[in-house]
Chains A and B, each alone.
Chain A
Amino acid sequence: MRVLAALSGGVDSAVAAARAVDAGHDVVGVHMALSRTRDQFRTGSRGCCSIEDAGDARRAADVLGIPYYVWDLSEQFEQTVVADFLSEYEAGRTPNPCVRCNEHIKFAALLDKAVALGFDAVCTGHYARIVVRDDGTRELHRALDAAKDQSYVLAVMGPERLARSMFPLGDVPSKEVTRAEAAARGLSVSAKPDSYDICFVADGDTQGFLRARLGSQPGDIVDSDGEVVGEHDGAYAYTVGQRRGLALGRPAADGKPRYVLSIEPVNNRVVVGSADELLVDVVAADRAVWFGTPSADLECSVQVRAHGVPVAARARVAGDSVEVTLADGLRGVAPGQSLVLFDGTRVLGQATVTSSRRAAVAAS
């Protein structure tokens, strides 16, 4: 197969590309340039977007003996991932830009261009497994190494994109094994640190980035009874479940810590309350993407954030909406987050959280 290996400049994508070469594929390395502004290129701490990272990617391609290109997808990235990031926060929701990047860039703009140029598949260094059934059906599964599993951020791609994807690292037992393999292959990125920050937010300062792009919008912080307990400089800078950085003037009556319960963009309010009030057991989501046709009523486990623990749930599916009832309550479920449904290790589908509640409260 003709395989396009997306090379971020990190160790995972380099080893993934190497494995694709070993498998006998005709591999070409492509590094995505996602920003045009020089200072962002120059900040080397974010793992994929600096000149150094592009150089590391090229060096890896040279070691593997494959051609290497840089594709400028910065315009599409700004118009989809960054724009979505801003508008979601502005609307009081909590976006996951890595999910949006997989949805709009890696397995869309990059994949479409690759297919148009004659490639059969895109290979990335994501930790997830593709299982091909006897009937040819392809399934997306969690990685062997649960600590590195990235199936949560990949679920958004849906079955057609999965058919043109390749994740050679899905069965790696641990990141250390990937690093050892990189070192053995002479890839100089073998000891490069992992990246965690959002790639387009310099210094990891998300609040500063949002303030710079969205401006100051002062408003009230209120408790669940509507009483004003503090002030904020922009409701968009808060996330459901957030505890730190609230800077409330006086302690709560019960003396317990308070958390962000919800963000109300319409009246520019941030609502805070106790940890108990954060607990939900019913989550509604829409824009569902399914691998195969789901039954209308299914037992599954769900995950609402990238490094979250899966929770047993029962899901009711209607059109592209889904409502899940959790066996145990979850804290900090925010609108905008991705809800991913699993059957064991298999990804059933994903949807975007619209609301959540506590069934007991709703019933009363």
Chain B
Amino acid sequence: MPVTVYLDHAATTPMLPGAVRALTDEMTRTGNPSSLHGSGRAARRVVEESRESLAAALGARPSDVLWTSGGTEADNLAVKGLFWARRREDPTRRRILVSAVEHHAVLDPAFWMAEHTGAELVLLPVDSDGVLDVDALRDELDRHGEQAALLSVMWANNEVGALQPLDEVVSLARRYGVPVHADAVQAVGQVPVDFAASGLDAMTVSGHKVGGPGGTGALLARRGLDLMPVQHGGGQERGVRSGTLDAALLVSFAAAVDEAVAARPVVAPRIAALRDELVAGVLAAVPDAQLRGPVDTARRLPFNAHFTFPGCEGDSLLYLLDSAGIEASTGSACQAGVPRPSHVLLAMGVDEHDARGALRFSLGHTSSADDVAALVATLPAVVDRARAAGLAGVR
């Protein structure tokens, strides 16, 4: 097996050394942050300093931060907590507005709410680049804004990297008093993220996507935002999210976000240049490959490249690359292990057949020019072979 070339940083990225250090140092100490004694106080101090650090890195106030077990929990809390709180205040507000390209952590709770709690789900369309159709949102709000309970539009799409027009989204939603949540899991460390300046009411961040530990995340929820608790218990996190806090995980999470955000002005342009090399290299090596998401790199995540390869099955490409030591992703979730055409690509108008040949290459802080060169060198043979196999399946 050749040296592994890791091009799946959007799935998870290696932990930053500072985050590892913070984690292992803190793990040697004992103390429940809710305890009143000395050990508890020491742990609480670490938790609160982490809260202050995370808030500072993301343009939020410490009191905005609700620790969660990860991005998925924060998204669930936002969708369910906002909906229930809004409906309690005004029972006619039953519409949940989400973009059609949201991550499953937003889409699935929204579908679940529609199925089980009488919510009405509105999937907002996107253009062929995967960018929200603002006119459609305006139209929806003009007609049904008074019935909208919440609006959730991601900061940047995790598959095709499209940055979303959150400024316009926020200003439209404000007119109708609709709280706006954004899943910013992929954005932190790649583009400037300032919670206060964004005007968002709630925002999801995750630890392991930026070099922190798995099992960490946060919902930034503007103080005063009415949020119904989803997880009940000991009353931690303003009573909105109960559960014992883990000082070691949180200090490591905060350290990772701090480092990723601080390094972004240097790292992001370096990775963006590598990504541009990757895109150019792939298109030169496989001329009929199609870049998905915005071609204008200023409108997409700097670490993201996404292609469809005509006539290929994504899982064939994955297998062949994997056996050549190159790790990538189709970018979309499986259903029971069966690869399905991505809902993001389908929402962009890509037909089901083309959508099956999708592959996402996502770079990160450890990526190098060698990684890109290895991919570009390997890809033509892989695509040829996958194409032959794709035809073999058709009898």
Q: Do A and B bind each other?
A: yes
Q: Which residues of chain A in 94-144 are interfacial with respect to chain B, using CB atoms and an 8 Å cutoff? A: 104, 108-109, 112-113, 115-118
Listed stretches B116-124, B252-260, B316-324; interface member: B316-324
Would you call A69 and B388 a contact (CB within 8 A)?
no
Q: Mark A58-90, 1 if CB is under 8 A from B, else 0.
A: 100000000101111110100000000000000
Would you call B395 and A70 a contact (CB within 8 A)?
no
Expressed in whole angstroms, the Cα–Cα distance for A200 and B9 within the complex equals: 39
From A33, A38, A104, A118, contact of B385 by CB (8 A): A118
* Interface check B338, CB cutoff 8 A: yes
Would you call A69 and B389 a contact (CB within 8 A)?
no
Q: Which residues of A contact B338 (CB under 8 A)?
A: 33, 36, 70, 72, 74
Would you call B315 and A71 a contact (CB within 8 A)?
yes
Kindly report which residue of chain A lies nearest to residue B388, judged by CB atoms. Answer: A116
Q: Which residues of B contact A113 (CB under 8 A)?
A: 316, 389, 392-393
Q: Which residues of B contact A152 (CB under 8 A)?
A: none
Would you call B316 and A51 a contact (CB within 8 A)?
no
Name B's interface SS.
helix
Q: Which residues of chain B in 357-395 are interfacial with respect to chain A, using CB atoms and an 8 Å cutoff? A: 385-386, 388-389, 391-393, 395
From A33, A36, A118, contact of B337 by CB (8 A): A33
Minimum CB–CB distance for A296 against chain B, Å: 32
Would you call A72 and B392 a contact (CB within 8 A)?
no
Kindly report which residue of chain B lies nearest to residue A50, judged by CB atoms. Answer: B336
Expressed in whole angstroms, the Cα–Cα distance for A65 and B337 within the complex equals: 18
* Given known contacts A28-B319, A116-B385, A117-B385, A76 and B393 CB-to-CB distance under 8 angstroms: yes
Q: Which residues of B contact A41 (CB under 8 A)?
A: 336
Q: Which residues of B contact A118 (CB under 8 A)?
A: 320, 385
Would you call A67 and B322 a contact (CB within 8 A)?
yes
Expressed in whole angstroms, the Cα–Cα distance for A69 and B318 within the complex equals: 10
Q: Which residues of B contact A93 (CB under 8 A)?
A: none
Expressed in whole angstroms, the Cα–Cα distance for A116 and B334 within the complex equals: 23
Kindly report which residue of chain B lies nearest to residue A74, judged by CB atoms. Answer: B338
Give the total number of A-B pairs whose CB atoms are below 8 A apart. 60
Name A's interface SS.
helix
Q: Which residues of A contact B320 (CB under 8 A)?
A: 117-118
Q: Which residues of A contact B386 (CB under 8 A)?
A: 117
Expressed in whole angstroms, the Cα–Cα distance for A38 and B340 within the complex equals: 13
* Given known contacts A67-B319, A71-B315, A108-B395, A116 and B336 CB-to-CB distance under 8 angstroms: no
Would you call A69 and B336 a contact (CB within 8 A)?
no
* Interface check A54, CB cutoff 8 A: yes
* Given known contacts A28-B319, A69-B315, A117 and B393 CB-to-CB distance under 8 angstroms: no
* Interface check A31, CB cutoff 8 A: yes
Instruction: Please tell me the size bucket of the interface on B.
Output: 20 to 34
* Given known contacts A67-B319, A67-B323, A109 and B336 CB-to-CB distance under 8 angstroms: no
Expressed in whole angstroms, the Cα–Cα distance for A104 and B319 within the complex equals: 23
Q: Which residues of B contact A104 (CB under 8 A)?
A: 395
Would you call B395 and A109 a contact (CB within 8 A)?
yes
Number of interface residues of A (CB under 8 A): 27
* Interface check B233, CB cutoff 8 A: no
* Given known contacts A69-B315, A71-B315, A115 and B392 CB-to-CB distance under 8 angstroms: yes
Expressed in whole angstroms, the Cα–Cα distance for A33 and B338 within the complex equals: 7
Minimum CB–CB distance for B232 against chain A, Å: 30
Would you call B392 and A33 a contact (CB within 8 A)?
no
Would you call A58 and B337 a contact (CB within 8 A)?
yes
Expressed in whole angstroms, the Cα–Cα distance for A115 and B393 within the complex equals: 11
* Interface check B91, CB cutoff 8 A: no
Expressed in whole angstroms, the Cα–Cα distance for A300 and B232 within the complex equals: 74
* Interface check B38, CB cutoff 8 A: no
* Interface check B339, CB cutoff 8 A: yes
Q: Which residues of chain A in 225-272 are interfacial with respect to chain B, using CB atoms and an 8 Å cutoff? A: none
* Given known contacts A67-B322, A117-B316, A76 and B395 CB-to-CB distance under 8 angstroms: yes
Would you call B323 and A33 a contact (CB within 8 A)?
no
Minimum CB–CB distance for B319 against chain A, Å: 6
Expressed in whole angstroms, the Cα–Cα distance for A252 and B158 within the complex equals: 72
Kindly report which residue of chain A lies nearest to residue B337, judged by CB atoms. Answer: A70
Expressed in whole angstroms, the Cα–Cα distance for A54 and B334 within the complex equals: 12
Kindly report which residue of chain A lies nearest to residue B393, judged by CB atoms. Answer: A113
Minimum CB–CB distance for B159 against chain A, Å: 19
* Given known contacts A51-B336, A70-B337, A70-B339, A112 and B392 CB-to-CB distance under 8 angstroms: yes
Kindly report which residue of chain B lies nearest to residue A115, judged by CB atoms. Answer: B392
Would you call A69 and B393 a contact (CB within 8 A)?
no
Expressed in whole angstroms, the Cα–Cα distance for A104 and B391 within the complex equals: 15
Expressed in whole angstroms, the Cα–Cα distance for A113 and B319 within the complex equals: 12
Minimum CB–CB distance for B382 against chain A, Å: 10
Would you call B392 and A69 a contact (CB within 8 A)?
no
Kindly report which residue of chain B lies nearest to residue A30, judged by CB atoms. Answer: B319
Kindly report which residue of chain A lies nearest to residue B394, judged by CB atoms. Answer: A76
Kindly report which residue of chain A lies nearest to residue B316, judged by CB atoms. Answer: A117
Minimum CB–CB distance for A33 against chain B, Å: 4
Q: Which residues of B contact A73 (CB under 8 A)?
A: 393
Q: Which residues of chain B in 127-179 are interfacial with respect to chain A, using CB atoms and an 8 Å cutoff? A: none
| Residue among A33, A58, A69, A117 with most chain B CB within 10 A | A117
Minimum CB–CB distance for B270 against chain A, Å: 32
Q: Which residues of A contact B336 (CB under 8 A)?
A: 33, 38, 41, 51, 54, 70
Q: Mark B326-344, 1 if CB is under 8 A from A, else 0.
A: 0000000010111100000
Minimum CB–CB distance for B329 against chain A, Å: 13
Residue ranges of B at the interface with A (Cβ–Cβ < 8 Å): 315-316, 318-320, 322-323, 334, 336-339, 385-386, 388-389, 391-393, 395
User: Assuming A117-B319, A117-B389, what are 10 further A-B pairs, CB within 8 angstroms?
Assistant: A28-B319, A33-B337, A36-B338, A41-B336, A70-B315, A70-B334, A76-B393, A116-B392, A117-B320, A118-B385
9 nearest A-B pairs in the assembled complex, by CB-CB distance:
A116-B389, A70-B337, A112-B392, A116-B392, A33-B338, A116-B388, A117-B389, A54-B337, A51-B336
Q: Name 28 A/B residue pairs within 8 A (Cβ), A-sorted.
A: A28-B319, A33-B337, A33-B338, A38-B336, A41-B336, A51-B337, A54-B336, A55-B337, A67-B322, A69-B315, A69-B318, A70-B315, A70-B334, A71-B315, A73-B393, A74-B338, A108-B395, A109-B392, A109-B393, A112-B395, A113-B389, A115-B392, A116-B391, A116-B392, A117-B319, A117-B320, A117-B385, A117-B386
